[in-house]
Amino acid sequence: MRLVVEEVKSRGQPFLVVDNFNSICKFLDIPIEKAAKELIDFIQELNVKAVIVSEQTNEILESMVDGVIEMMYTFLEGRIFRKMLLKKLLGVEIKNPIYHFTLINSNFTYFPVVDLGDILKSVLKKPIYPKGKPLLGEMIDRSSISPEIPILLIELETSSAREISYILQALIVAILLGKGYSGIITPMRSEDAAKFLTPHTDMAKFLNNVRFLYPRIKREDEKPQSFINTIQENINELKKENKSPIFLILRYDLLGKILGDETARRIVKEITLSNMVKNDVCIVITSKSDKIDIEELERSSSTIIKVFEEHGRIFCYGEKPYTQIYGILFQEKENHIEINLTPMV
């Protein structure tokens, strides 16, 4: 090995990779502690840079090197979830010790931290286009042709539920209008809708095909049925005017705060049972909370997507039907924003 390294050094800066350390120790029948010391002495004597791959944690070896990076994976409800931990970088401040990554196409790709506040500001100005895996569109299609109640449930387990909800609604509306749908979003005021959705779709199509309903209840005893009737009337009018499939986007947790959880449940159940037919779809978006009966919603849904956040990165996966985990990447271009779902493999 010394002769090989010296030959490489004569041609330029050498780089030694030891892969893997444990197998070498086992093959040579050398104690790990002794092998670690001899290997480090050998590398220092040759004055070369080296990467040592070890399948097991070794405190002695870690104490001798300048940097330690631990690659790990766990299983999240049967789905692989990869992380990289920066444990030691000599002379370098470790500001972000954890990175999530994928080995898609045999390439190492990490998922950057996402500032959803900045993304939302950009979404107010530029259209957002999906790239990569069309998971959302596929789930919408599956829900609309389901023989069950056509409900797509999107669960948000994140501290940024408001931002993600608006971004998803903008993307969903653009997808559905492109498929020829008409629909309703609730609860949303028309002035908010114009602000958040205008950059993402043709305005004429947008105004003619989408309605925004926000509960304005005067009397306590009117709460449940009056708003349900309002939604039903608007669905019937849209069907009559546009003769197109219907979408209904419900921000379930917000409806629960405004009208109460029982009314929110009734809206989902009664509207989907009485007004939704083949190719129609009800999309329920809700943040995950102990106060919300997620299990009942899940039982009622034909399709489920879960969105979660970890260490500033956003991920999603299909619970029903089963899919792998995807990292959600945003990239701002000159005239639009790309949202890319990259599988974690």
CB distance 339 to 171 below 8 Å: yes
* CB proximity list for 220: less than 8 A, separation 6 or greater: none
- Which residue, 227, 217, 306, is CA-closest to 267? 227
Residue 169: pLDDT over 80: yes
Once rounded to an integer, what is the mean pLDDT over residues 77-101? Answer: 94
The C-alpha R_g of the chain, in whole angstroms, comes to 27
Distance CA 316, CA 186 (A): 23
Query: What separation, in Å, do the N-terminal and C-terminal C-alpha atoms of the chain show?
Result: 35
Residue 5 scores a pLDDT above 70: no
Residues of the chain with CATH 3.40.50.300: 116-343
Overall residue count recorded for the chain in this entry: 345
More confident residue, 219 or 78: 78
Alpha-carbon distance of 19 to 123, in angstroms, equals: 46
Compute the distance between CA of residue 145 and CA of residue 182 in angstroms, rounded to an integer.
Answer: 16
Higher pLDDT, 72 or 57: 72
Superfamily of domain 116-343: P-loop containing nucleotide triphosphate hydrolases (3.40.50.300)
How confident is the model at residue 329, as a pLDDT?
92
Question: What pLDDT, in 10s, does the model give residues 179-207?
Answer: 889 999 999 887 777 777 777 666 656 67
Would the pLDDT of 219 be above 60? no
Specify the pLDDT at position 248: 92
pLDDT digits (tens, 9 = 90+) for 274-324: 767 778 889 999 997 656 677 888 888 889 999 999 999 999 999 999 999
pTM, two decimals, is: 0.87
Mean pLDDT of 218-245: 80
Identify the weakest region by mean pLDDT among 125-134, 194-203, 216-225: 216-225
Q: What percent of the chain has pLDDT above 90?
A: 32
Instruction: Give the whole-angstrom CA distance, residue 168 versus residue 285.
Output: 9
The predicted pLDDT at position 184 comes to: 92
Q: How far lies 155's CA from each of 98, 161, 255, 304, in Å?
A: 25, 9, 15, 8
Work out the pLDDT band at 27, boundaries 50, 70, 90. Answer: confident
Q: What is the reported pLDDT for 256? A: 87
Instruction: Give the model's confidence band at 99: pLDDT under 50 very low, under 70 low, under 90 confident, else very high.
Output: very high
